Amino acid sequence: DPASAARLAPHDAQRIQRALEVWRASGRPLSAWLGEPRREDAERWPLVALEPLSRAWLHERIARRFDAMLAAGLLDEVRALRARGDLHPGLPSMRCVGYRQVWQALERGDDMLALRGDAMAALRAAGIAATRQLAKRQLTWLRALPARQSVACDGRDAQARGLEALRHAAGA
């Protein structure tokens, strides 16, 4: 697909792979899909973004979530994926937050049965930092959306305000 090839950076393996997947699954190049006129109802879906007002609240939630991932067996999961032999750290599925940090720790030789002490603290810090960076990029992306209705997800009545925002955006 020359149009997609011209648009994508030559070293952007993830987007190139996605363009190939679209072509293989649909029989049409990605540029053909992107070149189609937008459907009339494409803008009808309400866009409500849940955004925290407190960065400290978000950081605490991120830390708790990463700790829960570790407690649920993230180390064993990545060990098992590495042992398969057909995966490597360059794959998009292995570059996700959590997997990447554990894989790197295991490659450094930090695999002392359960990663204890300083090695575990370093892994935890790396995972939390990577998750914070991801959250920051996601919030930047959300804030750039012009038609979004923002709801503070860290407020007491966040659920009620979110539902009200959806009703309002849907015209109900």
Q: What are the residues facing 152 on neighbouring strands?
A: 51
pLDDT in tens, 66-83: 999 999 999 999 999 999
CA torsion 141→24→28→44, rounded to 10°? -40
Q: What is the CATH number of the domain that holds 71?
A: 1.10.287.890
Q: How confident is the model at residue 43 (pLDDT cuts 50, 70, 90)?
A: low
24 and 98 belong to one structural domain? no
Q: Two tokens at 62?
A: 């991120």
84 and 124 belong to one structural domain? yes
15 and 58 belong to one structural domain? no
pLDDT above 90 coverage of the chain, percent: 47
End-to-end CA distance of the chain: 43
Range of lowest pLDDT (17-31, 46-60, 111-125): 111-125
Q: How confident is the model at residue 40 (pLDDT cuts 50, 70, 90)?
A: low
- Note whether residue 145 is domain-resident: yes
Give me the pLDDT at residue 111, please: 62
* 152: three-class secondary structure by DSSP: strand
| 12-50 as b/e: b if 16+ CB within 10 A | eeeebeebeebbeeeeebbbeeeeeeeeeeeeeebebbe
pLDDT value at 119 more than 80: yes
55 and 121 belong to one structural domain? yes
pLDDT in tens, 141-168: 998 988 788 889 998 898 998 889 888 8
71 and 145 belong to one structural domain? yes
* 14: three-class secondary structure by DSSP: helix
Q: How far apart are CA 123 and CA 34, in angstroms?
A: 40
Q: The pTM is what? A: 0.75
- Note whether residue 144 is domain-resident: yes
Q: Domain of 20?
A: 2-36
Give me the pLDDT at residue 114, please: 58
The whole-number average pLDDT for the span 13-40 is: 86
23 and 61 belong to one structural domain? no
- Note whether residue 42 is domain-resident: no
81 and 152 belong to one structural domain? yes
26 and 54 belong to one structural domain? no
- Note whether residue 89 is domain-resident: yes
The whole-chain average pLDDT of the chain stands at: 88
28 and 58 belong to one structural domain? no
Q: How far apart are CA 7 and CA 22, in angstroms?
A: 15
